[in-house]
Every structure is written in structure tokens, then in C-alpha cells.
């Protein structure tokens, strides 16, 4: 009889099974004149099971020897033992325990020998049901170190020991949780450190052991690169995971698992873990950690913003590659998608088509735009939007005046932000103290901590920005205005990317000197006639769509509009 079969027993059924009844002797093992017995051996942790380099550790061997001695005292021989090398007794769903109960129902056994009652169960209900299952099979439960038998006093002792075992388990769990919570509150790490850190045990001169978190010299720089790269917005999770694998980032090896490359899912867990910015989250509550952060708050926030944006629009691998892919929008507001149909001779022709018309999300009637035509129009658009030298000088003068005003007013703003930060820090400390005093519930503490943390991140980022001088910004302004004078020349000097997931020709901060060469195709008209701008009907109620903003290191053309055949932007 298994524990699943006993789940329907009521209290009266358990009492009937607990009555003292005569038990027939079990058949003697073959070749022996003694009765049969089985033993159940268990340790709670893997460390106990493998201590001293032994396959079964020290505890299992000691329990086996004690069980053998007890069997000799009973005039029995152990015909089978069941070993649980790494299982808690808080639950009865243990492999060796279930095997023992199944064995007891099909073999003639007189005794079940255990080292202590808590080896069998640390839950009173499980203990009663296991004991009832053994009694139903006419098997007496024998403890090596405790006096339990079928007499009323023995059964009373058994019940007391089972209650003490349950109390020990529950109290230990509560004390461990209390210690872990206190460790998190002072900034420690109560759990295993994430990838990029190491849990290290150290011993001082007096022999006292301490556990601390250290930066993993093998993986920390790669984790920093992951945050910095994803914060730019130029990487997808899948591309970044492949890049990290190429650079050698792997998971930590364990005794049962070798080191493996970080998957896309694993990378997402890394990028969403606030531990890397210096905070510790335990049971939903966030604390300031004492470990070394791998990323600053600004990089962390940019990475989270990009993760949220990618989650909203979804990332999918692109089928066809084109350096303008993902940057062009139709007049109806929908994105233009690249297509490469094949003709009868096998040649491919690239066209941009309206995704709104294809998916029927708008009433756009524009059929297709030859890719070469779109490329030429983009180049002309850059040429039309270039600044003259006089305009560039005027832009520099206006923005330099703005920088002068910002530098003059930054000190007052810095003082105000510092006062706000001190107020929020004090408020957060009061919240934690109120929670320890049971004055506020846990869910309220979590929500308030989230609010305060978001405000502090914004304030700290603003203070850092105010602390910086504007010299670098002025230098960058001069460089950018030089580029804006001749945009079409910069555009033509950019390299065409080979990566299918890239959506822009190049970075305006460091243009390549290699001439961009648009792909050449056989001359062929579009598969459908292209209506003139005047004959193209505008949608009656166009779908509202927010085009992506201009990102650092990319050209985005969503703010540049034109009509094919029109000379004005």
C-alpha cells in the first residue's frame, strides 16, 4: 500500500490500523534461520551524502552499521535496504520511500528498521500514514536509537517524537528565513550570486569563517559588455547572445552540469536582474547591496527601456537583408517591408511594400516601390536636408548659448535634487523600520520601495549629468554640425552592413571611408503600377502609429517624408 492509496483514510481508519494485533512471523530468508527485515537510510543534503570523498558519505555508513546491530538484536537479517542520499523528510514524495512501501506489500517482511523517527518523516501526518501502511502490511517499525513499539507507552513516545521532528523542521525553516532576511537587509546576498559574481568563503586569522561576494574575473567584463551593448539599442537578444558566446561567456559548471553557452532566455534573466546595479531583492523586497555593481544606474535604465520596447513590438529574425530595412515608413504610417520575388529566369528583384496594406491594417493602396528608387530618394532627401555653412554656424551659436545658461543654473538644481534624494533615502529607511515593527504589510512595502527606487534612479542620473561639464557636449556639437553640412556625402561613405538585423547604414559619429555601393539589379518595372501622389488616396481614419525615435548610432528616416516623383521633402 502506497501513500496515495492511504490519502482517503479517515481518523477512525487510522485508529483501527493502530490497534495492537498479533502479527504472523515473516518467512525466513532463504538459507537463514532468522526473520526478514528491511532498513531505510536517509540524509538531508548532498554534502552529507558525499562527505570525505566517499560515495555514501559518513552518515549513511553509520546508519547502516547501527541498523545491522539492531537487526542482530531482533534475531533478524536485513534482506534489502533503501537509501535516500539527498532528500528532505518534509514530504513523503521520496523515491526510495515509495519503493520501500511498494516492496513491503509484495514481500514477507517482519521489521522496518530506521535510525530515528525523523529519518522517516518530519511531518506528523506523513508519519501516521507511513506507519499505517507498514502496519497494514504486518510490519513493525523499529528505531535504532528510540524506544518505540506497539505498546501504548511506545506509541505515545512515537507520537511525541514525530511532533518534535515536525517542530524542529518548522522552527529551523523559520530561523533560516529570519537569518536570510536579516542578511539581505544589511546588504548581503542570502542566495547564490548570479553570473558574473562568485560566492567565496574566507577565514580570518582567528579561524572565523565569512561568506562574501566577489566579482568573477572570468565573466564580469562580458556581463558588463552585455548591458552596455544592449543599452545602445543596436542589439537584439539573439544577436547579443551569439556575440557573448563567441567572446567566451558560459554558465558556471556544477558537479552535474558542465559549463554551457548563455542562451537567449538566460541573457534576458541577466539583463532583468537588478542585482547587477547594486541592489538585492529577497522575497519581493529590495535592499541596497554591499557587493560591487557591474553596471551604473543609467546603463541599467536604458537596458530596461530597450527590453520593454522590444517586448512590446516583439523581436523576430528577418528573412531578407537590406540596409534600409526597418527604417522606412509609408505615408499611411505603416512600416515598409522588403520583398524579393523571383521571376521565371530565377532572378530576384527587391521592392518595398506597405505592411499596412499587406496585413490589411490600413486602407493604403500603394502597391510597391522599387528598392533602387527608394535608395536614390533617400540620398536626395539627405541632400535636401543638409545645412549650409551659415546655418551650421547659427546652430552652433544657439546651442552654445543654451549650454552657457545650463551651466549657470545647474548648481541650484543640484542642491534641490540632493535635498530630494536625502528625503527619499530617509523615507525608505522609515518604511523598512515600519515593516520590521509590523506597522505596514509586505505588499505596501514593495510598492513604496519600487516608487522610491524609480525616483532615486532618476534623481541620481540627473545629478550625475549636472556634475559633468559641457565641454564634451560642445566638442560633439562641433562635430555634428560639420556632418550636417554634407549629409549625402556622409551617407554615401557609410558601409552597407552585412548583419541582417541591422537597420541603419552606419554611425554618424564615425563614418566609414568605404564608399557605400547600392546593390544592382536588372532593370525591370515594379510588379504593379505605382500611382502618382495626386491619385493616391489618403486613408479615411489612418491607424495611429508611433514611429521609432532617432537612436544614437543610427539614422532613422521616419521623420523624413517624401513622395515619389516630388522634388520637395
Catalytic residues: 44
Among 314, 364, 356, 311, which Cα is nearest to 335's? 356
CA–CA dist 427, 15 (Å, integer): 58
Which pairing describes strands 336-339 and 351-354: parallel, antiparallel, or unpaired? Answer: antiparallel
Q: At what angle do helices 442-467 and 297-313 cross, to 10 degrees?
A: 120
| Residue 66 grid coordinates | 547501527
Among 398, 365, 391, which Cα is nearest to 487's? 391
Among 231, 240, 300, 314, which Cα is nearest to 272's? 300
Q: What residues contact 2, with CB distance under 8 A and at least 6 apart?
A: 98, 101, 102, 133
| Residue 459 grid coordinates | 534623481
CB 519 within 8 A of CB 340: no
CB 62 within 8 A of CB 144: no
Q: HSE of 376 in the Cβ direction (CA atoms, 13 Å)?
A: 11
CA–CA dist 449, 354 (Å, integer): 45
- Cα–Cα distances in Å, from 252 out to 190, 197, 198, 273? 19, 10, 10, 17
- Which residue bears the cell 582567528? 206
CB 143 within 8 A of CB 115: yes
CB 225 within 8 A of CB 218: no
What secondary structure letter does DSSP report for 285?
A: E
Amino acid at each position: 500500500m502506497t501513500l496515495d492509496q492511504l490519502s482517503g483514510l479517515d481518523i477512525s481508519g487510522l485508529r483501527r490500523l493502530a490497534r495492537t494485533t498479533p502479527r504472523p512471523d515473516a518467512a525466513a530468508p532463504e538459507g537463514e534461520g532468522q526473520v526478514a527485515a528491511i532498513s531505510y537510510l536517509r540524509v538531508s543534503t548532498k554534502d552529507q551524502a558525499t562527505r570525505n570523498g566517499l560515495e555514501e558519505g559518513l552518515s549513511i555508513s553509520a546508519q547502516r552499521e547501527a541498523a545491522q546491530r539492531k537487526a542482530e538484536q531482533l534475531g533478524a537479517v536485513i534482506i534489502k535496504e533503501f537509501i535516500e542520499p539527498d532528500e528532505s523528510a518534509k514530504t513523503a514524495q521520496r523515491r526510495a520511500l515509495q519503493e520501500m512501501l511498494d516492496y513491503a506489500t509484495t514481500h514477507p517482511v517482519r521489521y522496518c528498521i530506521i535510525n530515528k523517527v525523523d529519518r522517516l518523516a518530519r511531518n506528523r501526518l506523513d508519519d501516521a500514514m507511513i506507519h499505517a501502511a507498514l502496519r497494514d502490511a504486518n510490519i513493525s517499525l523499529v528505531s535504532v536509537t528510540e524506544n518505540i513499539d506497539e505498546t501504548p507507552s511506545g506509541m505515545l513516545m512515537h507520537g511525541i517524537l514525530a511532533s518534535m521532528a515536525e517542530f524542529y523542521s518548522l522552527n529551523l525553516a523559520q530561523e533560516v528565513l529570519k537569518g536570510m532576511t536579516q542578511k539581505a537587509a544589511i546588504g548581503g546576498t542570502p542566495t547564490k550570486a548570479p553570473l558574473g559574481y562568485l560566492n567565496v568563503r574566507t577565514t580570518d586569522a582567528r579561524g572565523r569563517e565569512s561568506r562574501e561576494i566577489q566579482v568573477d574575473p572570468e565573466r564580469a567584463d562580458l556581463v558588463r559588455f552585455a548591458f552596455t551593448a544592449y543599452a545602445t539599442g543596436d542589439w537584439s537578444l539573439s544577436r547579443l547572445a551569439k556575440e557573448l558566446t563567441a567572446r567566451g561567456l558560459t554558465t558556471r559548471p556544477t558537479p552535474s552540469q558542465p559549463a554551457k553557452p548563455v542562451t537567449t532566455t538566460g541573457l534576458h534573466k541577466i539583463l532583468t536582474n537588478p542585482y547587477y546595479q547594486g541592489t538585492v531583492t529577497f522575497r519581493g523586497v529590495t535592499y541596497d547591496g554591499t557587493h560591487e555593481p557591474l553596471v551604473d544606474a543609467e546603463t541599467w535604465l536604458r537596458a530596461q527601456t530597450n527590453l520593454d520596447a522590444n517586448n512590446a513590438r516583439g523581436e523576430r529574425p528577418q528573412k531578407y537583408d537590406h540596409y534600409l530595412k526597418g527604417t522606412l515608413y509609408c505615408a499611411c504610417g505603416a512600416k515598409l517591408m522588403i520583398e524579393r520575388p523571383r521571376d521565371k529566369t530565377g532572378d530576384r528583384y527587391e521592392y518595398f511594400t506597405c505592411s499596412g496594406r499587406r496585413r490589411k491594417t490600413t486602407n493604403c493602396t500603394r502597391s510597391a516601390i522599387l528598392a533602387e528608387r527608394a535608395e536614390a530618394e533617400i540620398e536626395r532627401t539627405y541632400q535636401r536636408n543638409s545645412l549650409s555653412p551659415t546655418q551650421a554656424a547659427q546652430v552652433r551659436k544657439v546651442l552654445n548659448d543654451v549650454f552657457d545658461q545650463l551651466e549657470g543654473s545647474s548648481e541650484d538644481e543640484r542642491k534641490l535634487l540632493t535635498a530630494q534624494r536625502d528625503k527619499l533615502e530617509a523615507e525608505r529607511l522609515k518604511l523598512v523600520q515600519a515593516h520590521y515593527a509590523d506597522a505596514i504589510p509586505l505588499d505596501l512595502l514593495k510598492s513604496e520601495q519600487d516608487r522610491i527606487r524609480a525616483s532615486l534612479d532618476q534623481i541620481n542620473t540627473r545629478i550625475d549629468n549636472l556634475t559633468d561639464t559641457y565641454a564634451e557636449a560642445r566638442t560633439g556639437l562641433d562635430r555634428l554640425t560639420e556632418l550636417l553640412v554634407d549629409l549625402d556625402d556622409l551617407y554615401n561613405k557609410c558601409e552597407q552592413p552585412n548583419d541582417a538585423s541591422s537597420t541603419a547604414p552606419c554611425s554618424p559619429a564615425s563614418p566609414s571611408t568605404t564608399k557605400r555601393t547600392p546593390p544592382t539589379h536588372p532593370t525591370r518595372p515594379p510588379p504593379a503600377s505605382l500611382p502618382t501622389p495626386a491619385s493616391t488616396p489618403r486613408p479615411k481614419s489612418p491607424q495611429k502609429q508611433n514611429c521609432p525615435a532617432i537612436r544614437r548610432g543610427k539614422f532613422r528616416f521616419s521623420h523624413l517624408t517624401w513622395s515619389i516623383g516630388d522634388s520637395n521633402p
